[in-house]
Structure 1
Amino acid sequence: MDIRRYAPLRAAGASWKDIAAQAGCDWRTAKKYLSPDAPAVPPRATSRAGTVSRLVDPFTDVIDAWLADDPGLLATVIHERLVADYGFTGHYQRIKVYCAEARRRIELESDAQGRPPGLHRRFEVVAGAQAQVDWGDEGCLLVGAGAGKKVYSFHMTLSYSRDPFICFTTSQDLATFFDCHRRAFAHFGGVPATIVYDRTKTVVRRHVAPGRAVPLHPQAAAFAEHYGFAIDVLAAHRPTGKGRVERQVQIGRDHVLSGRRFSSLAELDAAFAAWVPIRRGQVHRTHGEVIAVRAVRDHAALGPLPQFGYAVTETHLRRVGRDALISFAGSSYSVAARAADGRVTKAGQRVEVRVGVEHLEIWRLPVDSPDRTPMLLARHPLAAVRGQMIVDPQHWAELPDGHTRSTTLDITDHAPVAAQQVPGDPTPSSVSGSMVFGESQAALEVMVARRPLAYYDRLAGLAAPPEPATTAETTTSESLVGAA
C-alpha cells in the first residue's frame, strides 16, 4: 500500500480521519506517513509467502522423484498423471511454476561442486591440437537399389579451423566407425593430437558414475595408439563439449543433403566433395578468418600418418553347425571342413568371427590348435541382405554330395503288368511306356488303365450306375481284356 498517493487530500484540507477512510488504514498511520516529518520509506504489508499452504504441497515429493529420474519430464505430463493417479484438483499453472523451481534446485544438487547450472567454460585450441567426432542420422535417403536402407553421416571437424569432413555409411558398427577415421585422416593429411567423443559404445566399454575414469573399448584404445592420438571422452549429457562438430552436423545436412535424392553412398560422398571448396571459402563467424586460410595452419600442425594402416575388426564367437555353416547377422557362411593344416572342423566347435567393413573372417580358436595359434578357416564378403547363404565350394569338397545315390528296377524278377478289368469299369485302354536303366537292361512295358471321370463319380454315389451292356459290347470288352 502506497499511502503517499493520498497526500493531495491532506493538502486540500481533509482530516486524518477522512484520509484514513479513503486509504483503508488507521488515522494514526495516515498521520505518520503524510506529516511533513514522515519517513521516506512507505509502509509495506508483511509477506504472506509460506503462510498459506499451496495445492501442490502434498504432491511435491512425488514431483521431485519424477524430475530426479527424468529432468526433462514435461509439466503437462506431470499435471496429467497427478490428476489421474493422485486426485490433484489444481490448475496446470501451479505445476508449471513448481516444476521450474524444482528443476533449478535438482540441477544444483546434482552438481557436487555446486557450480551454476546452464553455464560452461569456453575453450580455444591451437592448430592441430583437437578434432571432434559425431554421428548424424539421415534417414532413408537412397532411391533405387538402396531404397529402404537407413543412412548415417560420420563427421570429423578440426577444432582450430572448423575444417569439416563428412562421409556416409549404412552402419555404425565398430569396423565402419574406425574406417571412417582412416578416411578422415587421409582427407586432412594427418592426425590431430586429441579427438573428442561422446560416450558411444564404440569408444567406451561401459558407463561409469560421474567422476570416475571411463574404461575405453580395447579396439578404440589400440587404434588410437597406432595412429598416435589421445581419446577425450565427454561427461554424460554435455553436448556443449563438442559444439563445433554438433553444429557441423546441421550445416552439412542443410547444404549437402537437403532437397536431394541419391542412388548410392558414392553419390553422397561426391556431393560432400563438391561442397567442401564452398565451405572452405567462407569466413567463419567465430574466429573471423577464411576457413581455408586457417585450415592451412591446422593441417600443417597435424601428426603424420603411420606407414601402415590399422584395420579394426569386431569379434564374435559362433558355433559350427552340422551343415558346416555358421550364422552371423541373420546370414549363413560356410566353414572349411578341413583346415590348411589338415585338422577337421567338428560340428559344434566354437570359432571366432572377425567382422570388417566389407569382409568376414572365420578363425579357429587357439585352444583348438596344437600349437596354440589361431588359424584362418574362411573369408567371405559380407552379405548384402539378411538371409543370404554364402558358400565357398572348396569348403565342402570332401563332404558327400549325393552323386552316388541311384535307383533301379530289375526286370528279370518282375513281369510286365497288364491292366485289369474292374466290374462296372468301362473298357480300359492301355498305354505302353519304355524306361531304360542302362545298356544292360531291356525295355520295360507297363500297361496303364485309363478311365473316364464319370466312373469315379459312380463309385462315390454321385452318378447313376451304367445301364447293362449289350451282348456285342460285352463280347468286345472281354476280347480286349483277353488281348491285353
Structure 2
Amino acid sequence: MLPLLKRHEIQVLLSVAIPLDAIAERTGVSVATIKRIRDEAPVEHVDDRAEHRKRGIGRPSKAAPFADDVRAWLEEEPDLPTQELLRRALEKGYGGGKSAFYSLVASARPARTAPVVRFEGLPGESSQHDFGHVDVRFVDGTKKRVHFFASRLKYSRFVAVTLVPNERVETLVRTLVKHFREFGGVPLLAVFDRPRTIVTKSGPGREVEQFNTTFAEVMLELGVGAEMCAPRSGNQKGSVEQLVKWVKSSFFKWRMFADERDLEAQLAAWVRQVNFETPNRATAEIPEARRQQELPRLRPVRLTPETLAMRVPVFVGPTAEVMFEGRAYSMPPQAANVPGTAFVYEDRLRIVAGRHEVEHARGKPGDPPASLPEHRADKLAAVHGARARLYEKREQLLRLGPDALALLTALTHRAPTRSAEHVERLYALYEEHDDDAMRAAISRAVARGTLTISAVGEALSSSDRAKDERELDRTREAQPRAPRAHVAKKRTPRAERKRGAR
C-alpha cells in the first residue's frame, strides 16, 4: 500500500490539473494507481499502520525468506539474469509467483549508474530543503559545531537559511514553516534528501514505507506534498545536496566571526545579499525578481511557527503528572491514570486528557516540575489525614528544586520538634506566590547562607516591591504627557529700564 503522505502528494498534484502521465513520471506511481487515488476521499490522517489494519493488508511475501540467497548470488555475479535467479530459487524450494520474486530481485540488485539529468523548476512547483552542519572558528580561537537548515525555491532560487540548535523533527517542521512564510507561500511539493529525521522506514528506490508521524501531520496541515530523493542517487538529489554545499562554501568557508551573535548578523546580511542584490549564476537574474513572478503560484501558508502545535500522545501518571522531555507537568488529580494528547507549541504545552485541559509554559529538559496552584490545592484536598497532608505539603515544596531540599533539611535538623511548623509556614508562603517566585526566593536565601523562613519571606517581599515598582514605571510611561504651559518670564526693574531706553 502506498503511504498516505504519498497519496496526499498525488492528490495535491491532481488538484492543480497536472496530467496523469506527468504525475506518474514524477511520483513513480502507475497511471492506474493515480486514477484509483483520484476517486478516493481526500487524505485526512497519516497513520499508515491504522490504514493497513483497516484494509487488511500485510500478508508476508513468499519470496522474503530467499532475500539473503539472492543478495549472495548477486554479490558474486552482479549481472546474473533474473530468470537464472528464479531457477536457482525454485531448486531451493521457492513456491511463490514470479512477480513477488522479481520485486525482491529488483530491490536487492545494485543500482546501475545513470547519467545526471538537469531539470529546471516551474513557478510554484517545488522547493528544496536540507540540514547541514559546519565547524566554525571564532576570533578568540574557540571552535563550535553549528547546525543550519537551508531552503530554496527551485524556480526563483530564493533562499532562506536559519541557524538551528539540532536536527530533530520539531526543529525541521518549525523552521520549514518559517521559511515558507519568508518565501511568501507554499509550493506544490517540498523535496528532501531523505533524512532519517522524517523517514522512519524506507522502501525500495524512492519509496517510503513509513514517515515520521509529526512530519506527516504537519505536511498534511500545510497542504504540501513531500518528495524524497532515492538513496545513493546523485542524479535525483544532487541539487538538494548542492544547496548545503553552496551555503558552506559561499558563506562559512571564508568568514571569521566574533561570536554567535556576529555569526547570525553576518548570515542574515549574506542571505539578503544573495536574494536581493546578486544575480544567480544559473538564471542570471536576481532571485527576488523571479520570486515576484513565482508569488501568484504559491499558496497561502496556513500556519506560523508560533501557532504550529505538534500532537504527542501522553499519559497522566498516578501522581497526576505528565512527563514530557524529562520534565513533569501537573494535571488535576481527577485526570490521574488517563491517556491524553499534548499539543506542543514553541513556548507552551496544552495537555488534554479526557475532559481535563491544562496549559503550561514549556520548560527545558531537566527543569524542575511545573505545577499550577489550583492543582496543588486539589491534590492536597484529596489527601485524608493530618499527617498525610503534611507530607504532601512537604513533597510539593521539595519539588521546587535542590535549594528547597537544602532549606528544609537545615530547618529540620536545627529544630526537629518544629519541623511540622516550618513546613506549614513555608507552604503558606508558597500558596501566595507562583513557582518561579518561590524558587527564586529560596535560592536567594540559600545563596546568602540564611537558611530561615524569615529570609525567604524577606526575599519574596523584596521581589514583590520590585515588581510593583516596575509596574508603576510602565504605567507612568504609558500615560500621555500633558503639554507644558508657557509661563512668561517676569522682567526685572533693570531690564525694564533698559527696554525703556531702547
TM-score normalized by structure 1? 0.49
Q: Considering only CA atoms, is the larger Rg found in Structure 1 or Structure 2?
A: 1
TM-score normalized by structure 2? 0.48
